[in-house]
Amino acid sequence: MNFYLDNENLSFYLHHPDMEQVVAVREKNYAEAGNHPEAPADANEAVEQYDTVMRLLGDIAGDVIAPNAESVDHEGPQLVDGHIEYARGTRQNLDALVQAGLYGMTLERKYNGLNFPRVAAVMAAEIIARADVGFATIWGLQDCADTIQQFANDDLKNKYLPRIYQGATCSMDLTEPDAGSDLQSVRLKASWDEASNCWRLNGVKRFITNGDADLHLVLARSEEGTNDGRGLSYFVFDKADGGMKVRRIENKMGIKGSPTAELQFTNAPCQIVGERRLGLIKYVMSLMNGARLGVGAQSIGLCECACREAEAYAASREQFGHSIDKFVAVQDLLRQMRARTDGARSLMYETARYVDLAVSSKPASRIADILTPLVKLNASEFANRCAYDCIQVHGGSGFMKEYACERLYRDARILSIYEGTSQLQVVAAMKGIAGGAYLKQIEAYDAKVSAFDSLTDEMRRQQSLLRKATESYKRLYELVSSEGTSSERFDHSTRALTEVLSYIIMAYLLLLDSQRDNRFMDSCDFFVKEAVGEVHKHLAVYEN
Amino acid sequence: MSFNIVVLAKQVPDTHNVGADAMNADGTVNRAALPTVFNPEDLKALEMALRVKDLMKDARVTVVTMGPPRAAEIIKDAMSRGADDGFVLSDARFAGADTLATSYAISQAVRQLGKVDLIMGGRQAIDGDTAQVGPQVAEKLDLPQVTYAEELLSVDEHSITIRRRLERGTEVVKSLLPALVTVTSAAADCRFPNAHRLLRQAKMEVRMTNADSIDADMERLGLKGSPTKVKRIENVVLAHKESVVLQPTDEALNALSATLIKEHIL
């Protein structure tokens, strides 16, 4: 089974009209064409390359990773002599992906990377997550290499980046017992060792995903006497250099194949990434945005898997003389699952395109920044909802361990928590809400829809409803911010505002997608109704 | 000096994906309508060859196929999985070849490659099921042959040790090199392609070799060199009671020949 070829939505976004611009930016206007045996000469060739590699990845996801998911969930990783041994299936997955040369997909060619854009990386993550979300966390952490590529000096890049291609695993060591969402409180100490000409780490990190990785990016306090984010720097630690021990691995509810560890650093030698004091305020924030998009991809992969599990079960399970997918109540569940998956996916690839364009465009960078929390918030919440509905479609059977939906339900739960909870995504969206950036983006989408030369009546109707919903949103915003954006009333409304904006944006994106393929109109209709319903629910309260 | 491995491969119709238009009205195969695949056992032979390469210093794997220009697809596939080189024997003069003419053309092509230490191929192709080409190539090149290979146990410059899958168990044999090995479906699956190699292959042309380049006797090629004449094709499902186990003795083989002649099969 090929998890890329059997899902035509993936190719649809790989061939999005804006990809021409994305590829041109990524390929620096094809500067390497003719000078490197893999460099594409134009956008068509580049997209063909992405397609080729996604086919390969789709094979591995369908034939290796997905069949291993159940045993990996049962077996889990083990702690042996202070180090972690992956489940057998996890090791097989890693070996297949490394042998296939898929690690380091976004790295530059000089580091043995494929120089693929974020759009392709996110698609790879989605495909792998559909096979196994737990494994997708291990795979996704190679994004740490992007931070090294972006901010480290050439010595570090030359030393570490080629190892990613060879399969070196990564972890992002931020959380500590007293520093979770509040990373300014990180206490792990980094001190300069003059004699060895390196930094030394001392302290404890907790809840570290893939904690026994080969390469660690560690947030640590390099400035003695400080107690906020400005005293933190970022370090790269190589496990082979010693000084780190895994104290325990957590017994988790889901994503059991992905080891979550507590780490003890004792005089562990490491190198600083970039400049001192910029660890949290610049580098982690950059890494975090990428990680949030990554969790979006994991969530959508899980949604896709849940949709398929539910659709297949509903088509095969017979009650009252018919397969249950003939019953409207079940059809509604399946449609809603599919719509949420479509909406989150369209938003994610839109965001990924802006992340790619952000390299050479300030406005694109600002749009990427406002869309990223919406991806993380909505995709992760939808993943939970899809997993819930998947069990619902299975009925009593779904409550038994025999069906994959039980694992999906457990795996989904972390998605709206790690890399920033849903509540923190709402906080991250506030700047765009208060500053009007989301409304500006909605106006741009509306103009794009209007510019389409063959709008159907149904498309016009949805556009008109979306315009009304946007006007209602503006009224709601004015009502809840009437006492200022620091008021309690405003604070209590931020989630609702963020969700309404999200639904409007996803509906517009699906409307735009429908211009290339009409099959998205059902899902567009779902989000239009969600937007209209949600905004009027709150308006009804505040207007009276 | 490098250790040279040749893999014999064939592009075959994908029998798992046969559409309604797979047969012409006259009962012949409509090849244009059939999707094609790398013959499954040849892929397993490629994997075994790549494992030999992994174990040997300075080994090279060259893939040889015979077929229409489209067969270049499997050369690219093999190279994206780790083969170093490959070419297609493609010429109208090869057309209509039975196993005798095919093995002659392939053996001549292999002769042109110089020092060859090991030849590997699938036991049989899923479109013909003859299992004759590998052994015939070995005979023509005067090489020892190991058939039904399921696992490579060891290899060095002078010998190879293979586990064979037989009807009632397995057998470990060691052969001097050079030798020819045919691989069964019980062997390990082929590794996945490598993304970087895939991208490089997409930009490369596969070498085509014609009948003039293999120092061949033209009378022994294609239809002219093929004594096999297909009278008709019918679908036969063999029941177990119809099969006979023969001992590998001259008496048993003579008896088989006599039976086949008597029943007008030979």
pLDDT of residue B240: 67
A35 contacts in chain B (CB < 8 Å): none
Q: Do A101 and B196 touch (CB under 8 A)?
A: yes
pLDDT tops 70 at residue B21:
yes
For residue A285, what pLDDT is reported?
Answer: 83
Q: By a Cβ cutoff of 8 Å, what residues of chain B touch chain A?
A: 191-200, 202-203
Name the residue with tokens 């749009």: A367
Say yes or no for a CB contact (<8 Å) between A101 and B197: yes
- CA Rg, chain A, in Å? 23
Strand partners, B11: B38
Closest-CA distance, A347 to chain B, in angstroms, reads 28
Of A38, A60, A100, the CB nearest to B200: A38
Tokens of B11: 């592009």
Among candidates A37, A48, A100 on the partner chain, residue whose Cβ is nearest the Cβ of B195: A100
Residue contact B197–A53, C-beta within 8 A: no
User: Could you tell me the pLDDT band of residue B230, with boundaries at 50, 70 and 90?
Assistant: confident
Which residues, 6+ apart, have CB-to-CB distance to A28 below 8 Å? none
How far apart, in whole angstroms, are the C-alpha atoms of residue A55 and residue A51? 6
Q: What is the per-residue pLDDT for A450?
A: 96
pLDDT average, residue stretch A253-272? 97
According to CATH, the topology of domain A441-544 is Four Helix Bundle (Hemerythrin (Met), subunit A) (1.20.120)
Structure tokens at A473: 């949103």
Contact by Cβ (8 Å): B58, B3: yes
Interface test with B, best of A1, A53, A95 (most B CBs within 10 A): A53
Task: Tell me which chain B residue has its CA closest to the CA of residue A33.
Answer: B203
Superfamily for the A171-276 domain: Butyryl-CoA Dehydrogenase, subunit A, domain 2 (2.40.110.10)
The mean pLDDT value for A29-37 works out to 94
SS (H, E, C) B43-108: HHHHHHHHHHHHHCCCEEEEEEEECCHHHHHHHHHHHHHCCCEEEEECCHHHCCCCHHHHHHHHHH
Tokens of A493: 């409304």
- A306: tokens are 């849940």
CATH architecture classification, B3-227:
3-Layer(aba) Sandwich (3.40)
Closest approach of B120 to chain A, Cα-based (Å): 22
Length of chain A: 544
What CA–CA distance (Å, rounded) separates A37 from B226? 43
Q: What is the mean pLDDT of residues A26-49?
A: 96
Report domain A278-435's class.
Answer: mainly alpha
CATH of A8-168, one of 3.90.320.10, 1.10.10.10, 1.10.540.10, 3.30.9.10: 1.10.540.10
- pLDDT above 80 (res B232): no
Instruction: Decide if B200 and A37 are in contact by the 8 Å CB cutoff.
Output: yes
- State the smallest CA–CA distance between residue B197 and chain A in angstroms: 9
Q: Do A56 and B200 touch (CB under 8 A)?
A: no
Q: Which residues of A touch B (CB under 8 A)?
A: 37-38, 48-49, 52-53, 56, 59-60, 96, 99-102, 105, 112, 114
| Interface probe, candidates A27, A49, A50, A55, chain B, greatest B C-beta count within 10 A | A49
Q: Domain-by-domain residue ranges, chain B?
A: 3-227
- Rounded Cα distance between B214 and B228, Å, is 23
Residue B145: other Cβ atoms inside 10 A: 18
The band of B131, judged by pLDDT with boundaries at 50, 70 and 90, is confident
A300: Cβ–Cβ under 8 A, 6 or more apart, which residues?
A: A126, A129, A341, A344, A345, A348, A379, A383
Distance between CA atoms of residues A52 and A96, nearest Å: 17
Return the amino acid letter for A505.
I
Do the chains contact at A100 and B203, CB–CB below 8 Å? no
Comparing CB atoms, the residue among A38, A59, A60 nearest residue B196 is A38
Instruction: Count CA within 13 A, CB hemisphere, residue B43.
Output: 20
Which ipTM was obtained for this model? 0.92
Across the interface, whether the CB atoms of B199 and A114 are under 8 A apart is answered: yes
Mean pLDDT of B114-143: 89
Distance CA A222, CA A174 (A): 14
Residues A197-219: pLDDT tens digits? 999 999 999 999 999 999 999 99
User: Where are the extended beta strands (E) located within B96-210?
Assistant: 118-122, 145-155, 159-166, 169-176, 179-183, 207-209
Which strand (E) or helix (H) includes residue A193? strand A189-193
Domain ranges (residues) in chain A: 8-168, 171-276, 278-435, 441-544
* Span A447-456, average pLDDT: 94
B219 by Cβ neighbours in 10 Å (0-12 / 13-18 / 19+) ranks as exposed
What is d(CA A79, CA A59) in angstroms, rounded to the nearest whole number? Answer: 31
- What pTM was computed for the model? 0.92
- Chain A residue numbers touching B196 (CB-CB < 8 A): 38, 101, 112, 114
pLDDT in tens, A455-512: 999 999 999 999 999 999 999 999 999 988 888 889 999 999 999 999 999 999 999 9
Query: Of B4, B87, B8, which Cα lies nearest the Cα of B53?
Result: B4
pLDDT digits 0-9 by tens, B187-210: 999 999 999 999 999 999 999 999
- Whether the CB-CB separation of A256 and A137 falls below 8 Å is answered with no
- For A303-338, give one letter per residue: b (16+ CB within 10 A) or e: bbbbbbbbbebbeebeeeeeebbeeeebeebbebbb
Answer whether the bond into residue B178 is a cis peptide, omega within 30°. Answer: yes
> CA of A144, closest CA in chain B: separation in Å?
21
pLDDT averaged over every residue in chain A: 96
Burial class (CB in 10 A: 0-12, 13-18, 19+), A61: buried
Q: Which of B54, B79, B198 to mutate to test the interface with A (most CBs of A within 10 A)?
A: B198
Residues of A in contact with B191 (CB under 8 A): 99
Give the pLDDT confidence of A104-148 residue by residue, as tens digits: 999 999 999 999 999 999 999 999 999 999 999 999 999 999 999
All residues at 6 or more sequence positions from B125 whose CB lies less than 8 Å from its CB, including other chains: B10, B12, B39, B41, B42, B133
8-state DSSP, B193: P
Q: Which whole number is the average pLDDT over A391-412? A: 96
Give A-chain residues touching B202 at CB under 8 angstroms.
48-49, 52
B112 phi and psi, to 5 degrees? Answer: -70, -15
C-alpha A474: how far from chain center? 29
Q: Are A42 and A376 in contact (CB under 8 A)?
A: no
